[in-house]
Structure 1
Amino acid sequence: MSDKHPGPLVVEGKLADAERLKKESNYLRGTIAEDLNEGLTGGFNGDNFLLIRFHGMYQQDDRDIRAERAEQKLEPRHAMMLRCRLPGGIITPKQWLAIDKFAADNTLYGSIRLTNRQTFQFHGILKKNVKPAHQMLHEVGLDALATANDVNRNVLCSSNPVESELHQEAYQWAKKISEHLLPQTRAYAEIWLDQEKVATTDKEPILGETYLPRKFKTTVVVPPHNDVDLHANDLNFVAIAEKGKLVGFNLLVGGGLSIEHGNKATYARTASEFGYLPLDKTLAVAEAVVTTQRDWGNRTDRKNAKTKYTLERVGVETFKAEVEKRAGIKFEPIRPYEFTTRGDRFGWVKGIDKQWHLTLFIENGRLLDYPDRALKSGVAAIAKIHQGDFRLTANQNLIVAGVPESQKEKIEQLARQHGLMENVTMQRENSMACVSFPTCPLAMAEAERFLPAFVTRVEEVMSRHGVGEEHIVLRVTGCPNGCGRAMLAEIGLVGKAPGRYNLHIGGNRIGTRIPRMYRENITEDEILTNLDELIGRWAKEREADEGFGDFTIRAQIVNPVLDPARDFWQ
């Protein structure tokens, strides 16, 4: 991943149609406002179908009933998924209660979905309720701007509830980076908040008139916890502290997990180290990386438009030198840092500020009231008395943060009463899936609905081999777009067709190595047969404290992915 194959700075050729759409959108307005009043369809028409993504929404339909509705000569049951912008995943109890009420009253499913982008999503918002959703968020100080499409999306930040002073500094930078890179167009305020159109001409000094070539993701991560999976992201600021105080960041650029089945020009890639920068250069460097990708990213082929492909095409050193020039900086050598964990620490932990923090496991991030566990009501009950804040983690879990000793017992009582503090195995805690069916239009196989029972079957295999108390980082994604981050797992399943997956193995526990495809297009039973053999070998042949992924590499069951652009598909 260096300058082995430098190529042209700009890819010439016919632009992708998305570039036309953005150019003609009048800075993301399109005809969305008019379309809202179109009663003939429950969806958005023409370019607006894609433009609404810049405003934080995806148009979806319930795929479980799609065929049935087609048979009845009805259009699919269109509804929107809306994703909030929540840098660092911090939300107040007052804000939480507002989103809880909206989910209950105005969505088809009634749930709140915590995502591994450290925010929440509403699924099933009918067109008539879309504008009220944005207005509700605005009333409590939130928005959905730039949480999808060709912009810098929600900025992640380590959810460390213990080293609270350092975390607070890192979180403030996550917020600043998010604000600095937001679109400047007034389209969001005009369409959703009924704010007056300002007479001045729109300008996008950072993102440009046609925005970025593709989606762009940013993190601020506090070692030794890689809980944000930094290597899944384009732009990463690794916090460097001295005596508990933040002094600067190591910069890593060009991570990304999305691939396309059978397309060998696509691959998962870990981020490249650029160097160390002092705090006062953070925003300038963030802007320089974004504008370099804006100008050099591939606008002719969206499958090869992300930052990882730009780095491979022009060379890491060439890209880095351009960032230095634009930011007016010379990177210092990378400062020492190490990752030792990436999962969340469940239960109560006490911070250095003497406050308590309770991390709750939320399977698949889905908050809903089930017959035996009223999870959504439980979080709402906690929100009514909680005086601190909530932190959404990048592993789809929830931290009740900043609890004084006097409230600890009451909050634990509410959590237990509503099934939010049940005994959960380490394996289940370290397993994750994307949403997939029935709402995601890209889904090829089940993920969220598949995971719970599949984890149970994996646990049975592990118990049989005497490793039932241990864990393997397991991820399932319903398609190759990477939302479930299977390409940073020790065992990653990537949906290929209904009931069939590609099995990847060989990632590591800390999320710094891409797994390799081991078996293609196999069923759940075939996956478990393979895992039975592999886990059996791991149990017998491993070295002390050796993780499953590390074992599969050392035992040469698979070769490590060392140079993704050239050996990911080998």
Structure 2
Amino acid sequence: MSSNHSTDSAAQNGPLVVEGKLSDNERLKQESNFLRGTIAEDLEDKTTGGMTGDNFQLIRFHGMYQQDDRDIRNERAKQKLEPLHSLMLRARLPGGIITPAQWLGVDKWATEHTMYGSIRLTTRQTFQYHGILKPNIKTVHKALNSIGIDSIATAADMNRNVLCTSNPYQSEVHQEAYEWAKKISEHFLPQTRGYAEVWLDAEKVEDTVTEEEPILGSTYLPRKFKTAVVIPPLNDVDVHGNDLSFVAIQEHGKLIGFNVLVGGGLAMTHGDKSTYPRKADDFGFIPVDKTLAFAEAVVTTQRDWGNRVNRKNAKTKYTLDRVGSDVFKAEVEKRAGSSFAASRAYEFTERGDRIGWSKGIDGKYYLALFIENGRILDQANKALKTGMAELAKVHQGDFRITANQNIIVAGVPEAEKANIEAIAIKYGLMDEATSAQRKNSMACVAFPTCPLAMAEAERYLPGLVTDVEGILAKHNVAEESIILRVTGCPNGCGRAMLAEIGLVGKGPSKYNMHLGGNLAGTRIPKMYKENLNEAAVLQEIDNLVALWVAERNDAEAFGDFVIRAGIVDEVKISKRDFHD
């Protein structure tokens, strides 16, 4: 199934620039002195554990979010205490590649400088720390910097961590694709010295020096911007969850260029029909040497045309639907100084990660480890954090964090396979009893740390999967699976809007159920039922699986069945179909 999709352009294109009162975030960025604000002064304020004023938002440009432990928020309020503020820090790790030496540093500082001691692998193919107290923030930044890792531009109105297929069996092409992911990430980094000044005590820029942001602009992008590089046939980065994706095209085993996909995105707002998830448009093929030129052209067009009045409609997907995809594409070609060629044929046949051992064309072996919810922490039955540290002490290759919250031990010589496997088994990192359903399920963090969460996700998922495993067994399809994803709110972090069953938090223990994504990750699911409690979620899944097993065509996937059977309509054009 090729992913050549384009929306119909509006009969009358909308304005290139939205007029009106700018959102307050635009003021904040303009007045921030290139993202410095008064963060340095705020760090010295011992009267609160949080950041104050604009700094609450500005730290996001430096890769951090202020959070608190919502499990104890009410109790602290009763005691007349402010919430237990802490920071979540998300690292910048293009393509998810990290060395064993770096991992050992990351592991050490998780233990020494966070409240929870865990490392959380994310759907943006990196790791994040939860629970950094205010006095430890600079310490963590300096520690990460000492091993060549930073967190700049992993949040807020920036180009976020750039994804890249972790595909182990095409190592030569993967290396090229990874290099492009890294180049794209570095090309779009903010030029401000503010990050280094605030967190690393770098020498301050003199007042006589005029700083510039030649690509991002003085007020940066209108909204967050996500980029990915993918190598078909494995859509392991969910290309349609990104503003900009580069689909690798090969000839005779060599990377010759990319199909460029623009305008994907999964976030929406409950009750606001002007917001919706959207799959990307395929603009066409470019040769590999034009990659940065076209990437910059897409970013700067969105920079200049994106909605800076209403942040809910500020992402690239809404810009395309407002001005017309053809108009946006023509502007990209103008700015790149080159035209797109016709899209080259490609096919996505699967998603997710190939858990277990694979052999690469380099003759080395790759062990993909399933990490439920991406949470690396020692627990009574599985010492995952200790196990990863033990692997890092002996592994001579690198690790690849995947966009599905898992991790690959990459480049293992045959002579080391047995040792690596023994360590993985000893610490619970390998478990042959893990079902296909569990491997194909995913959730965002949600409670207790995410301030946006409306319902549980990470803590809800393990038990939910166990129940779904039981439903599949009841209907004699225990060896099969459904792509199942849960998010605690509609912001899209768990990519539920590309699942066969996507549950989106609506309130405490209440979820909207969406159905109809496909195995290739090229279709948006549609609302099926709203505001279901956990018992109702299971009853609906039980009923739907019963229908699927009884009425499906040979080997028909669940998401394809619910559309063919008329249970939900197919979402072809999101702006038109998603809410109807």
Letter in structure 2 aligned against 1:391 = R
Given candidates 495, 500, 523, the residue that maps to 1:485 is 495
Given candidates 33, 58, 66, the residue that maps to 1:59 is 66
Q: Secondary structure at the match of 1:435?
A: coil
Letter in structure 1 aligned against 2:179 = Q
Root-mean-square deviation (Å): 0.6
Given candidates 377, 387, 392, the residue that maps to 1:383 is 392
Report the Cα distance in structure 2 between the residues aligned to 1:211 and 1:60, rounded to whole angstroms: 24
Letter in structure 2 aligned against 1:377 = T
Report the Cα distance in structure 2 between the residues aligned to 1:104 and 1:431, rounded to whole angstroms: 28
Q: Secondary structure at the match of 1:402?
A: strand
Letter in structure 1 aligned against 2:514 = H
Please name the residue that 2:362 is paired with.
353
Letter in structure 2 aligned against 1:498 = P
Q: Secondary structure at the match of 2:331?
A: helix
Report the Cα distance in structure 1 between the residues aligned to 2:87 and 2:415, rounded to whole angstroms: 41
Report the Cα distance in structure 1 between the residues aligned to 2:324 and 2:140, rounded to whole angstroms: 43
Q: Secondary structure at the match of 1:285?
A: helix
Please name the residue that 1:2 is paired with.
8
2:531 is equivalent to residue 521 of structure 1: yes
Report the Cα distance in structure 1 between the residues aligned to 2:500 and 2:528, rounded to whole angstroms: 12
Please name the residue that 2:4 is paired with.
none
Question: Superposed, which structure 2 residues align to 1:92-241 within 5 Å?
Answer: 92-199=99-206, 200-241=209-250
Please name the residue that 1:292 is paired with.
301
Report the Cα distance in structure 2 between the residues aligned to 1:462 and 1:305, rounded to whole angstroms: 41
Q: Secondary structure at the match of 2:141?
A: helix
Report the Cα distance in structure 1 between the residues aligned to 2:362 and 2:282, rounded to whole angstroms: 33
Report the Cα distance in structure 1 between the residues aligned to 2:17 and 2:192, rounded to whole angstroms: 26
TM-score (norm 2): 0.98
Residues 156-202 of structure 1, C-alpha deviations (whole Å, 9 max, x = no match): 00001111000000000000000001111110011111111233211
Residues 511-537 of structure 1, C-alpha deviations (whole Å, 9 max, x = no match): 100000000001111111111111001
Letter in structure 2 aligned against 1:350 = K
Please name the residue that 2:96 is paired with.
89
Q: What's the offset of the Cα at 1:4?
A: 2.1
Report the Cα distance in structure 2 between the residues aligned to 1:243 and 1:76, rounded to whole angstroms: 58
Report the Cα distance in structure 1 between the residues aligned to 2:198 and 2:164, rounded to whole angstroms: 30
Please name the residue that 1:560 is paired with.
570
Report the Cα distance in structure 2 between the residues aligned to 1:336 and 1:208, rounded to whole angstroms: 36
Q: What's the offset of the Cα at 1:208?
A: 0.2
Q: What's the offset of the Cα at 1:146?
A: 0.2
Letter in structure 2 aligned against 1:139 = S
Given candidates 449, 455, 473, the residue that maps to 2:483 is 473
Q: What's the offset of the Cα at 1:406?
A: 1.5
Residues 232-259 of structure 1, C-alpha deviations (whole Å, 9 max, x = no match): 0000000001111100000000000000
Q: Secondary structure at the match of 2:29?
A: helix
Q: Secondary structure at the match of 1:60?
A: strand
Q: What's the offset of the Cα at 1:510?
A: 1.2
Residues 76-118 of structure 1, C-alpha deviations (whole Å, 9 max, x = no match): 0000000000000000000000000000111000000000100
TM-score (norm 1): 1.00
Letter in structure 1 aligned against 2:391 = I
Given candidates 513, 517, 529, the residue that maps to 1:507 is 517
Count of aligned pairs = 570
Which consecutive residues of structure 2, in runs of 5 or more, have no partner in the other structure? 1-6
Report the Cα distance in structure 1 between the residues aligned to 2:490 and 2:555, rounded to whole angstroms: 31
Q: What's the offset of the Cα at 1:2?
A: 2.6
Please name the residue that 2:378 is paired with.
369
Given candidates 399, 410, 431, the residue that maps to 2:441 is 431
Given candidates 534, 544, 567, the residue that maps to 1:534 is 544
Residues 309-333 of structure 1, C-alpha deviations (whole Å, 9 max, x = no match): 0000000000000000000011000
Report the Cα distance in structure 2 between the residues aligned to 1:101 and 1:403, rounded to whole angstroms: 24
Given candidates 336, 348, 353, the residue that maps to 1:344 is 353
Runs of 4+ in 1 over 4 A off after TM superposition: none
2:554 is equivalent to residue 547 of structure 1: no
Which consecutive residues of structure 1, in runs of 5 or more, have no partner in the other structure? none
Report the Cα distance in structure 1 between the residues aligned to 2:53 and 2:422, rounded to whole angstroms: 51
Please name the residue that 2:286 is paired with.
277
Report the Cα distance in structure 2 between the residues aligned to 1:238 and 1:109, rounded to whole angstroms: 38
Letter in structure 2 aligned against 1:479 = C
Residues 445-470 of structure 1, C-alpha deviations (whole Å, 9 max, x = no match): 00000000000101111111111100
Given candidates 36, 58, 77, the residue that maps to 2:84 is 77
Greater Cα offset, 92-101 or 555-564: 555-564
Please name the residue that 1:332 is paired with.
341
2:271 is equivalent to residue 265 of structure 1: no
Report the Cα distance in structure 1 between the residues aligned to 2:338 and 2:347, rounded to whole angstroms: 25
Residues 223-279 of structure 1, C-alpha deviations (whole Å, 9 max, x = no match): 000000000000000000111110000000000000000100000000001010001
Given candidates 294, 303, 313, the residue that maps to 1:304 is 313
Question: Superposed, which structure 2 residues align to 1:32-47 within 5 Å?
Answer: 32-47=39-54
Residues 349-384 of structure 1, C-alpha deviations (whole Å, 9 max, x = no match): 110101111000000000000011100000000000
Report the Cα distance in structure 1 between the residues aligned to 2:352 and 2:186, rounded to whole angstroms: 28
Q: What's the offset of the Cα at 1:545?
A: 1.7
Q: Secondary structure at the match of 1:325?
A: helix
Given candidates 447, 466, 481, the residue that maps to 1:456 is 466
Q: Secondary structure at the match of 1:501?
A: strand
Report the Cα distance in structure 2 between the residues aligned to 1:408 and 1:212, rounded to whole angstroms: 46
Please name the residue that 1:11 is paired with.
18
Letter in structure 1 aligned against 2:393 = K
Report the Cα distance in structure 1 between the residues aligned to 2:63 and 2:397, rounded to whole angstroms: 27
Report the Cα distance in structure 2 between the residues aligned to 1:563 and 1:418, rounded to whole angstroms: 46
Letter in structure 1 aligned against 2:478 = G
Residues 37-82 of structure 1, C-alpha deviations (whole Å, 9 max, x = no match): 1100001010000000000000000000000000000000000000
Q: Secondary structure at the match of 2:502?
A: strand
Letter in structure 1 aligned against 2:300 = T
Q: What's the offset of the Cα at 1:544?
A: 1.5
